[in-house]
Amino acid sequence: MSPTAAAIRAIHDLPVPELLFRAATAHRQHWNAEEIQFCTLDSIKTGACPEDCAYCPQSARYQTALKVEPLKDVAKVLAGAAEAKAAGSTRYCMGAAWREVKDDANFEAVLEMVQGVSGLGMEVCVTLGMLNEPQAKRLKAAGCQVYNHNIDSSRDFYETIISTRKFDERLETIAAVRAAGLEVCSGGIVGMGETIEQRIHFLQELTELEPAPESIPINQFVAVDGTPLADVDPLPPLELVRMIATARILFPKSRIRLSAGRAQMSDELQALCFFAGANSIFTGEKLLTTPGPGLDHDQWLLQSLGMRVEGAAVRA
Ligand code: SAM
Ligand code: DTB
Ligand code: SF4
């Protein structure tokens, strides 16, 4: 049975030393806490999205500095994946600014990308918006392992930031992904101006997904000029740590991804998030459209923490 909001809140509000101790203990029961998975994101289709997600620079409704780009060539994507693999990445995640998947030539091209990246021996994840079960099955048959589709926030906050789709439609896509036998990657964003209670309800919605998502991205909101949320106050760092730790305790076996917003975080905050149970990051100079800290910095950070890249060859 999934926990009540009060039970989740009680974990979230623990004194930080106790919260971190419990999260770090849960982390060690299922994972090697010295290792962080390096993933690479590739924005295969950028901007001009018909949805109105208030946080997103890729919505066509807002005037941002973003350069709109049509679906990339398959060969270009595969070259990017090979480069990412050489840099230590074990997972390649391709994202498209689509409302939904359509059964057209673009989807055929994505299936080719999936097949190609899977052929390189990398874990393949895609995030393409809403999709149905037959489409999810085709992705799986092409070698896709994981579909990313975030619930993003609590049901009530969601309705204040997106009008072009319903929270329940997110859940329907996640159900289609599950039914097709793909792994589910689903999490959300913190720091959009939601209350702590709304964050608790966001986590509670995740606990109601059965089975639990194999992977949970926690994105720190990145404010982008031109979007409706551009002027929201930055998230207090310890509130991020509390969310990571609570997610780790609720989902000891899931991968917790410290996703967007790392370029705005100090090294010490990231170290605390790793201690609280985050065990995956997106490397590179860019996420989908916003900056990342860059591979050199991430390699330096892990080394200075005495940690390792998960699955990377051990150097003599
Ligand atoms: N269009 C698809 C969808 O919405 O599912 C896939 C791409 S969309 C950019 C993937 C995720 O990026 C969103 O669910 C959201 O969690 C995250 N995201 C978008 N803009 C963000 C921002 N400004 N800060 C943090 N995360 C963001
Ligand atoms: C997720 O939850 N975070 C990644 C991945 N899924 C696709 C994307 C973060 C994007 C952040 C905003 C941007 O760079 O455009
Ligand atoms: Fe489009 Fe996804 Fe951005 Fe929403 S979050 S505007 S659906 S790309």
pLDDT tens for each residue of 263-272: 999 999 999 9
Tell me the per-residue pLDDT of 7-51, one tens digit each, with 9 for 90 and over: 999 999 999 999 999 999 999 999 999 999 988 899 999 987 999
Question: Is the CB of residue 177 less than 8 Å from the CB of residue 134?
Answer: no
Q: Is 194 in the pocket of ligand 3 (CB under 6 A)?
A: no
Q: Is 287 in the pocket of ligand 1 (CB under 6 A)?
A: no
**Ligand 2 centroid – CA 315 distance (Å):** 31
Task: Name the residue among 147, 152, 155 with its Cα closest to residue 215.
Answer: 147
**Top mutation candidate among 58, 126, 153, 229 for ligand 3, by most atoms within 8 Å of CB:** 58
User: For residue 184, what pLDDT is reported?
Assistant: 97
**Ligand 2 centroid – CA 260 distance (Å):** 6
Q: Is 152 in the pocket of ligand 1 (CB under 6 A)?
A: yes
Spell 236-273 as b/e; 16+ CB within 10 A means b.
ebeebbbbbbbbbbbbbebbbbbbbbbbbbeeebbbbb
- The CATH code of domain 5-309 reads 3.20.20.70
Ramachandran sector of residue 206 (left: φ over 0; alpha: ψ -120 to 50; beta: rest): alpha
Point out the residues of the chain with pLDDT beneath 50.
Answer: 313-316
* Active site members: 49, 53, 56, 93, 125, 185, 257
**pTM attached to this predicted model:** 0.93
Tell me the per-residue pLDDT of 210-247, one tens digit each, with 9 for 90 and over: 999 999 999 999 999 999 999 999 999 999 999 999 99
**Ligand 3 centroid – CA 63 distance (Å):** 14
